[in-house]
Structure 1
Amino acid sequence: MLHQTIPAELPRAQGRIRADFGLAGGVTRRLRLFQSGSAKAMLPPAPGCEMVLLNTSGGLTGGDRMKITVTQDPGTALVVTTQTAERAYRSTSGRARVSARFQVGAGGHLDLLPQETILFDRAALHREQDIALEGDATCLWVETLILGRAAMGEVVRHLDLSERRRITRDGRPIFVENLRLDDAALNGRDRPATLAGARALATLVLVAPDAADRLAPARAALGNLGAASAFDGKLVARLMADDGWPLRQALMRLIRAIRPGPLPRVWQI
C-alpha cells in the first residue's frame, strides 16, 4: 500500500498594532491601543511618551505578516523604538512582509528609532515604511541593517531584501528611498559604489526647519564612519561599518549630537 506524504504547512506569524495618541493637559497620552498576534506594544515609564514595539515570534521568515499603524494628534510628541534587534531568518517559501505607517499631526514630532534589523543568509523580507507629516510636523527617523553576526562567523551570500522608505508632508513626498539587496548586490559588496565591504549600514533622516543648523555637530559625531548633508529642511546621514557594534556606537553619538534628551532606555541596555 502506497502512502502519500502531505507536506505540513508551516505556521506563519501575523501581528497587527494600531495606536492613537493625543494631548491630555498638554501632555502626550495614549488614546487607543489595539494589538494582535505576535506584534506587541509597551509604554514604559519614561520622560515624555515612548512606545516600544516587540515581535514575540522571535523574528521574521517567509510568509510572516506584520502591520503597524500609529497616528498622532496635532501638537503631540512621541518616541517609537523596538525592544531589541529584529531578525530576518532564512526563508524556505515566500517573503516576510512588514507594513508600518505613522501619521503626525501639525505641530507634532515623531522620533522613530528602531534598533537594528539583522539579516540572515537566505532571508526574504519586503518592508514598507511611511511617515505622513501634516502642516509643520517634524520627525527623526533611523534605519539600520546588519548582514549577519560577525561574532558568530556568519556570512550572508543569498538575500532577498526590498525596502520602501517614504516621508511625505501634506501628501507631497519629501524623502523617498527604495533599497534592494539581492544576490547580485552581495556579489559586488566590495565595490566602492556599493557596500565597500561593509556588513552594517544605517540611514538617519531629520526633517525639521533647523536641520541645516545641526549639520556641523552631525559630521563631528560621525567621524570616519559616515557622511551627512542638509538641504531643504532635511538632514540625511549615511553610516557604514565592518560590524554592527561600531556602527551602533557611531549612530548613538550622532543621535545625541542632533537630538535633545536621552536615547530610549532599550538602546542603552
Structure 2
Amino acid sequence: MLHQNISTELNRACGTLRAGFAFSRGMTRLTRLHQAGSAKAMLPPAPGCEIVLLNTSGGLTGGDRMDITVTQEAGTHLTVTTQTAERAYRSTTGRARVTARFEVAAGAHLDLLPQETILFDRSALLREQEIALAGDATALWVETLILGRAAMGETVRTLDLTDRRRITRDGRPVFVENLRLGDATLARGESIATLAGCRAFATLVLVAPDAADRLDRARAALGSDGAASAFDGKLVARVMADDGWPLRQAMMRLIQAIRPGPLPRVWQI
C-alpha cells in the first residue's frame, strides 16, 4: 500500500497594495499603483479623487496578511473607502493581521471612510493603522465595528481583537486609540461601561484647524444616537447602535453634516 503525505496546512490570503497620488493639472491623480495577492484597488468616476480598496479573498481568517500603504503629495485631496464591509471569520490558526499606513503631505487632505468591519464568533484579528500627517495636512477618519449580523441570528461570544489606531503630525501623536476586545469584555456586554448591549459601534475623528467649528453640526446630526467633543484641533465622535444598519444611517448623517460633497458611491448602494 502506498502512503501519501497530505499536508493539512491551509492556504492563507496575502495582499500588498501601494498607491501614490499627486496634484497635477488642477486635480489629484494616481501616480503609481502596485497590487499583489488579494489586495486590489479601483478608481471609480467621482467628483473628486477616490480609491476603493477590496480584498478578493472575501474576508479575513487566521494567518491572513494584508499590507496597505497610500501616499499623498502636497495639494492632493483623496477619499479612501472599501468596496464592501470587511469580514473577520472564525479562526483556527492564529490571528489575521492587517497593517495600513496613510501618508499625507503638507497641504493635502485625506478622507478615510472604509465601510464596516464585521467580526464573527471566534474571529481573531490584529489591525494596525496609522495616518501620518505632515505640516498642515488634515484628515477625516471613520472606523466602524459590528459584532455579528443580527438578521442572521449571529452572536459573538468568543473574540480576539486588537485594533490600534494612530494619527500623527510630523511624527508626534495627535490621536491614539488602542482597542482590545476579548471574551471577558464580551461577557460584560450589557454593562454601561462597555457596550451596553449594543453590537455595532463607530468612531469618527476629524483633524483640522476648524474642527471645533463643526461640533454643533455634528451634535445636531447625531441627536441621541451618539456624542461628540472637540479640542486641540480635532473633533471626536462616538456612536453605538443595536445593529449595523441604524449605525450606518447615523454615521451617514454625521459625515454629511461635517464634510462637504457626497459620500462615496459604495456607501449608498
Which TM-score tier does this pair reach, normalised by the shorter chain? over 0.9
| CA distance in structure 1 between the aligned counterparts of 2:77 and 2:218, rounded to whole angstroms | 22
Give the equivalent residue in structure 1 for 2:185: 185
Cα gap change, 1:31 to 1:187, in 2 (>3 Å): same
Give the equivalent residue in structure 2 for 1:98: 98
Give the equivalent residue in structure 1 for 2:194: 194
One-letter identity of the residue aligned with 2:24: A
Give the equivalent residue in structure 1 for 2:52: 52
Give the equivalent residue in structure 2 for 1:76: 76
**Structure 1 residue matching 2:184: 3-state secondary structure:** helix
**Structure 2 residue matching 1:15: 3-state secondary structure:** strand
User: What are the equivalent positions in structure 2 for 1:7-22 lying under 5 Å apart?
Assistant: 7-22=7-22
- TM-score (normalised: structure 2): 0.98
1:101-137 deviation digits (Å, cap 9, x = unpaired): 0000001000000000000000000000000000000
**Structure 1 residue matching 2:213: 3-state secondary structure:** helix
CA displacement at 1:4 relative to structure 2: 8.7
CA displacement at 1:152 relative to structure 2: 0.3
**1:226 paired to 2:214:** no
Give the equivalent residue in structure 2 for 1:153: 153
User: What are the equivalent positions in structure 2 for 1:105-116 lying under 5 Å apart?
Assistant: 105-116=105-116
CA displacement at 1:26 relative to structure 2: 2.2
| CA distance in structure 2 between the aligned counterparts of 1:71 and 1:17, rounded to whole angstroms | 11
| CA distance in structure 2 between the aligned counterparts of 1:27 and 1:103, rounded to whole angstroms | 18
Give the equivalent residue in structure 1 for 2:249: 249
Give the equivalent residue in structure 2 for 1:211: 211
One-letter identity of the residue aligned with 2:264: P
Give the equivalent residue in structure 1 for 2:126: 126
Identity %: 80
| CA distance in structure 2 between the aligned counterparts of 1:54 and 1:128, rounded to whole angstroms | 17
| CA distance in structure 1 between the aligned counterparts of 2:23 and 2:153, rounded to whole angstroms | 48
CA displacement at 1:6 relative to structure 2: 5.0
Paired positions, count: 269
**1:41 paired to 2:29:** no
| CA distance in structure 1 between the aligned counterparts of 2:120 and 2:223, rounded to whole angstroms | 28
Consecutive aligned runs of 4 or more in structure 1 exceeding 4 Å deviation: 1-7
1:30-73 deviation digits (Å, cap 9, x = unpaired): 00000000000000111110000000000000000000001000
**Structure 1 residue matching 2:214: 3-state secondary structure:** helix
| CA distance in structure 2 between the aligned counterparts of 1:45 and 1:172, rounded to whole angstroms | 35
Root-mean-square deviation over aligned CA pairs: 1.2
| CA distance in structure 1 between the aligned counterparts of 2:133 and 2:68, rounded to whole angstroms | 17
| CA distance in structure 1 between the aligned counterparts of 2:6 and 2:79, rounded to whole angstroms | 47
**Structure 2 residue matching 1:44: 3-state secondary structure:** coil
**Structure 2 residue matching 1:154: 3-state secondary structure:** coil
**Structure 2 residue matching 1:239: 3-state secondary structure:** strand
One-letter identity of the residue aligned with 1:219: R
**Structure 2 residue matching 1:128: 3-state secondary structure:** strand
